[in-house]
């Protein structure tokens, strides 16, 4: 058996349909975000597609907390949470996250991916006859967790409460149900009808599981997300978030009732049998969460940059999806073109935007997903839009109006 040939032929398939992934090798400069050194290019570029949405990855409070905890506690946690790995910072961070979302309890994971995978896998897998109703655009981590649970799954049309209700109706009231969805969807930037979904959950006796990964730190008075902004936190059974995007560090969590968190803590294999986050990571995330609970300047700066970018794109007619979030998808609609535009933006203009192609988005909806941060100045945004306009003109691409 030639195993490598098998691997290679699968990879050739990816290359043939344009979905093979190339990584940009970057060195982020602390203090100079969104600038980063691009190894392939041999020079600094401006990063426009980072999920360090607020630049917290270089925030002085976060770095100071991490340095202090590193010196104090050393490099790693030293074990799983159960066997010597629970450090004071983990406990403090869980308390802070519970309080942030107005829940009794919270549970930390090594990533947001794991928090979705473990929580959905454990709850849906262990509650007898549980059914999961999952939004069609849910993130891979939820899909894989649900699959792992082997529970019955119903996929409802994206953000479609009528379709969701039709599906809920079909099940007896007295079997456990979970409605799993996101607040801000990362590729479209649209927002779920959270209140209507909670109403349905009440009507049909379902739990609600909300992934707020693309909202925590960024929405609500304290940065707890869209549910906080809409005054709905108390209506959700589980709020899940990441510490790696808006909070700029790494890790994931759920916030929920004490029994639910204890259940996942006690039965979730992917939680139990994995080394805890380094205490310095928990300390950095704690500093980030605390800072963003009291400071709105970063959220306001992000909204300013997003509005400025949308206006600048509209002025020259570069087509983008209008949505209520901070995600600005510039639509291209062709995999090769999307890659070529990204390449030219990088090589000629020093702007880095990773092309988003199938299977991350459906074919024909390929896009450049731009996530401006408070650290992207208006001048930088003007430069980016000028560069996009040059490319749109050279290639005579469709514009949203004749500017
Ligand atoms: C990125 C992402 C995750 C995973 O979070 P990580 O902390 O990066 O592992 C979960 N859900 C959604 C919607 C995401 O985009």
| pLDDT (average), residues 135-164 | 98
Q: Give the distance (Å) from ligand 1 centre to CA of residue 227.
A: 17
| pLDDT (average), residues 222-231 | 98
Domains delineated in the chain: 17-47+296-395 (3.90.1150.10), 59-293 (3.40.640.10)
Tokens 């009528």, residue located: 162
Mutate to test the pocket of ligand 1, among 118, 245, 250, 270 (most ligand atoms within 8 A of CB): 245
Residue 252 alpha carbon, nearest atom of ligand 1: 7
Contacts of residue 92, defined as CB under 8 A and 6 or more positions apart, other chains included, come to 282, 286
Identify the pLDDT of residue 18. Answer: 79
- The Cα 13–Cα 20 span in angstroms is 8
What residues line ligand 1, using a CB cutoff of 6 Å?
111-113, 116, 139, 141, 182, 186, 211, 213-214, 242, 244, 252
Residue 244 alpha carbon, nearest atom of ligand 1: 7
Q: Is 3 exposed, middle or buried (0-12, 13-18, 19+ CB in 10 A)?
A: exposed
Contacts of residue 27, defined as CB under 8 A and 6 or more positions apart, other chains included, come to 36, 37, 39
- Is 245 an annotated catalytic residue? yes
Q: What band does 403 get if pLDDT is binned at 50, 70 and 90?
A: very low
| pLDDT (average), residues 118-147 | 98
Q: Determine if the peptide bond prior to 34 is cis (ω within 30°).
A: yes
Q: Give the distance (Å) from ligand 1 centre to CA of residue 117.
A: 10
Tokens 């999806």, residue located: 321
- Residue 147 near residue 125, CB atoms below 8 Å: no
- 3-state secondary structure at position 138: coil
HSE of 171, CA atoms in CB hemisphere, 13 A: 23
Q: pLDDT, tens digit, for every residue of 355-379? A: 998 888 999 999 999 999 999 999 9
In the predicted structure, residue 192 carries a pLDDT above the cut 50: yes
Structure tokens at 371: 């996530």
Q: pLDDT, tens digit, for every residue of 82-116? A: 999 999 999 999 999 999 999 999 999 999 999 99
Q: H or E stretch including 177? A: strand 177-182
Strands 35-38 and 26-28: antiparallel
- Residue 192 near residue 135, CB atoms below 8 Å: yes
HEC secondary structure over the chain: CCHHHHHHHHHHHHHHCCCCCCCCCEEECCCCCCEEEECCCCEEEEECCCCCCCCHHHCHHHHHHHHHHHHHHCCCCCCEHHHHHCCHHHHHHHHHHHHHHCCCEEEEECCHHHHHHHHHHHHHHHCCCCEEEEECCCCHHHHHHHHHHCCEEEEECCCCHHHHHHHHHCCCCCCCEEEEEECECCCCCCECCHHHHHHHHHHHCCEEEEECCCCCCCCCCCCCCHHHHCCCHHHCCEEEEECCCCCCCCCEEEEECHHHHHHHHHHCHHHHCCECCCHHHHHHHHHHHHHHHHCCHHHHHHHHHHHHHHHHHHHHCCCECCCCCCCEEEECCCHHHHHHHHHHHHHHHCEECCEECCCCCCCCCCEEEECCCCCCCHHHHHHHHHHHHHHHHHCCCCCCCCC
List 103, 177, 229, 245, catalytic entry: 245
Residue 141 alpha carbon, nearest atom of ligand 1: 10
Q: Give the distance (Å) from ligand 1 centre to CA of residue 95.
A: 21
Residue nearest to atom 7 of ligand 1 (CA): 112
Identify the pLDDT of residue 401. Answer: 67
| pLDDT (average), residues 331-346 | 94
Alpha helix stretches (DSSP H) within 225-325: 226-229, 258-267, 269-272, 279-294, 297-316
Q: Give the distance (Å) from ligand 1 centre to CA of residue 113.
A: 5
Q: What mean pLDDT, rounded, does the chain reach?
A: 97
Q: What band does 393 get if pLDDT is binned at 50, 70 and 90?
A: very high
By percentage, how much of the chain surpasses pLDDT 70?
99
Please give the model's pTM, rounded to 2 decimal places.
0.97
In the predicted structure, residue 402 carries a pLDDT above the cut 60: no
Q: pLDDT, tens digit, for every residue of 261-283? A: 999 999 999 999 999 999 999 99
Sheet of 238-242, strands arranged across? 105-109, 252-256, 238-242, 207-211, 177-182, 131-135, 152-156
| pLDDT (average), residues 29-39 | 96
| pLDDT (average), residues 312-324 | 96
**φ, ψ (nearest 5 deg) of residue 107:** -135, 130
Q: Give the distance (Å) from ligand 1 centre to CA of residue 111.
A: 8
Structure tokens at 23: 């990584």
- Residue 134 near residue 206, CB atoms below 8 Å: no
């Amino acid at each position: 058996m030639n195993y490598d040939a098998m691997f290679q032929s699968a990879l050739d398939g990816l290359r043939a349909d344009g979905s093979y992934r190339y990584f940009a090798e970057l060195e982020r400069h602390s203090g100079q975000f969104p600038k980063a050194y691009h190894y392939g290019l041999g020079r600094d570029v401006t990063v426009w597609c980072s999920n360090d949405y607020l630049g917290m990855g270089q925030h002085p409070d976060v770095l100071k907390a991490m340095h202090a905890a590193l010196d104090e506690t050393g490099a790693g946690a030293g074990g799983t949470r159960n066997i010597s790995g629970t450090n004071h910072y983990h406990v403090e961070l869980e308390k802070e996250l519970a309080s942030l979302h107005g829940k009794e309890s919270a549970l930390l994971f090594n990533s947001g991916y794991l928090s979705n995978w473990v929580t959905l896998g454990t709850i849906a897998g262990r509650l007898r006859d549980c059914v999961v109703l999952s939004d069609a655009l849910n993130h891979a981590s939820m899909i894989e967790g649900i699959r792992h649970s082997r529970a019955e799954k119903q996929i409802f049309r994206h953000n479609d409460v009528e379709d969701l209700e039709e599906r809920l109706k079909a099940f007896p009231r007295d079997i456990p149900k979970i409605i799993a969805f996101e607040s801000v969807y990362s590729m479209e930037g649209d927002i779920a009808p959270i209140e209507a979904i909670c109403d349905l959950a009440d009507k049909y006796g379902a739990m609600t599981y909300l992934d707020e990964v693309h909202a925590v730190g960024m929405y609500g008075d304290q940065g707890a997300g869209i549910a906080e902004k809409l005054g709905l936190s108390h209506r959700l059974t589980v709020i899940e978030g990441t510490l790696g995007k808006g909070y700029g560090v790494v890790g994931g969590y759920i916030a929920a009732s004490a029994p639910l968190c204890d259940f996942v803590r006690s039965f979730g294999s992917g939680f139990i049998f994995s080394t805890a986050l380094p205490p310095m990571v928990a300390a950095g995330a704690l500093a980030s969460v605390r800072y963003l609970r009291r400071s709105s300047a970063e959220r306001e700066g992000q909204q300013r940059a997003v509005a400025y970018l949308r206006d600048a794109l509209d002025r020259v007619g570069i087509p983008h999806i209008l949505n209520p979030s901070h995600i600005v998808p510039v639509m291209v609609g062709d995999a090769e073109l999307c890659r070529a535009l990204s390449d030219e933006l990088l090589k000629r203009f020093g702007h880095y935007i990773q092309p988003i192609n199938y299977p991350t988005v459906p074919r024909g909806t390929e896009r450049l997903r731009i996530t401006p941060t408070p650290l992207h100045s208006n001048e930088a945004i003007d430069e980016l839009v000028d560069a996009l306009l040059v490319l749109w003109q050279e290639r005579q691409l469709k514009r949203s109006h004749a500017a």
